[in-house]
């Protein structure tokens, strides 16, 4: 399920399609899964037109039938599509009215059915956040034993508004409204956004020893999923906690604030260590990734080559702190491959 598809490239789900092709998962007819066709959600067409293919019009019996026929589900992004970015193609860094997006009641019904039938569920960043309503969010939180704090965040390699025109204008506007019209930032840093529109920012050197959030994994996760003990993660994340003791934390984010940064986090009740990935395999298998993990600019080329992931390990640019591809090759690929392998070999 991907409700945030601005182009046929399908950035918000393409990395998972790459994994499916690389690991030789096929559709019932034997064909590869297509990033352009084989998903539910928003489908861009020509001349600003679009097609919506989701679960919203399905009856209860149809949803039950789908939950019987599907082996698993992955909700890769529910943020949606907005007026400025879709129709105007300008000022996309500012908020505008929603065209489509968010979890709806039938998504919730479908997920409940999948969980009842012990089918594999994967979900990640923006699963709980806006524009999903509080009612649907509460139902999903109860279903999975998770609780979103209301905070999301992201590392930006440049917080200077002149040097980084891609910096969301709404972040700057809200921060200025909350801080006497001041925007003092000129370096890299981490932006935190609460659902009530509160903005908190930690800047390199001023507030942080290490500018990029680090994902650290427990020994269990390192051994089971062949993921690194530590890797940088430079993109969107959410702060989500567990209310179910059966939810195992595989990995966690660690921030590196100095004394001033600690004070900012404490003031906003933001932890400097919080979960990055959950696993629950007690009753029915599901995983929640507390980040926009699937959003990686990975190309379909070479996805069929056996062992390509080992070759890529030698050409990764670990010095580009904004590059998300090392996270794909070293963390996302081995993690999702192992999840699929374990599930389909049961």
DSSP type of residue 44: E
Q: How far apart are CA 117 and CA 124, in angstroms?
A: 21
**What is the pLDDT, as a whole number, of residue 3?**
97
The Cα-based distances of 233 to 45, 50, 106, 221 in angstroms read 33, 33, 32, 17
**What is the pLDDT, as a whole number, of residue 135?**
97
**What is the pLDDT, as a whole number, of residue 305?**
52
Cβ-based neighbours of 198, under 8 Å, separated by 6 or more:
178, 268
Angle (nearest 5°) at CA 128 between 300 and 110 = 75
**What is the pLDDT, as a whole number, of residue 9?**
86
* Cα dihedral value 87, 92, 95, 101, nearest 10: 60
End-to-end Cα separation, the chain, in angstroms: 24
76 neighbors 124 (Cβ within 8 angstroms): yes
Average pLDDT value for the chain: 92
**What is the pLDDT, as a whole number, of residue 306?**
55
Q: What is the mean pLDDT of each run of 10 residues along the chain (346 residues)?
A: 92 93 93 94 94 97 97 97 80 77 97 97 96 97 98 97 90 96 97 97 97 97 97 97 96 98 98 98 92 84 55 60 88 97 92
Q: Is the pTM of this model over 0.85?
A: yes
């Amino acid at each position: 399920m991907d409700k945030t598809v601005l182009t046929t490239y399908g950035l918000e789900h393409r990395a998972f399609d790459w994994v499916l092709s690389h690991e030789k998962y096929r559709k019932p007819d034997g064909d590869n899964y297509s990033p352009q066709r084989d998903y539910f959600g928003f489908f861009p067409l020509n001349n600003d037109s679009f097609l919506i293919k989701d679960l919203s019009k399905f009856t209860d019996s149809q949803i039950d039938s789908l939950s019987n026929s599907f082996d698993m589900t992955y909700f890769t992004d529910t943020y949606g599509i907005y007026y400025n970015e879709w129709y105007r193609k300008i000022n996309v860094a500012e908020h505008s009215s929603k065209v489509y997006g968010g979890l709806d009641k039938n998504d919730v019904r479908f997920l409940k059915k999948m969980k009842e039938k012990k089918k594999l569920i994967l979900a990640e960043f923006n699963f709980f956040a806006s524009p999903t309503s509080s009612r649907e969010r509460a139902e999903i939180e109860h279903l999975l034993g998770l609780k979103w704090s209301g905070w999301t965040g992201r590392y930006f390699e440049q917080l200077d508004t002149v040097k980084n025109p891609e910096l969301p204008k709404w972040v700057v506007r809200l921060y200025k409204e909350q801080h006497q019209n001041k925007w003092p930032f000129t370096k890299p840093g981490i932006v935190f956004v609460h659902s009530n529109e509160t903005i908190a920012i930690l800047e390199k050197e001023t507030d942080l020893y290490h500018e990029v959030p680090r994902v650290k994994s427990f020994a269990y996760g390192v051994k089971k999923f062949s993921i690194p003990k530590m890797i940088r993660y430079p993109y969107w994340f959410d702060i989500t906690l567990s209310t179910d003791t059966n939810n195992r934390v595989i990995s966690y984010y660690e921030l590196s604030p100095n004394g001033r940064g600690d004070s900012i986090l404490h003031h906003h009740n933001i932890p400097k260590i919080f979960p990055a990935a959950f696993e629950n395999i007690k009753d029915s298998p599901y995983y929640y990734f507390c980040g926009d993990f699937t959003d990686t600019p990975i190309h379909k080329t070479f996805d069929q080559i056996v062992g390509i992931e080992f070759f890529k390990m030698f050409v990764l640019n670990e010095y580009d702190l904004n590059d998300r591809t090392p996270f794909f090759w070293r963390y996302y690929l081995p993690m999702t491959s192992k999840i699929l392998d374990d599930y389909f070999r049961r």
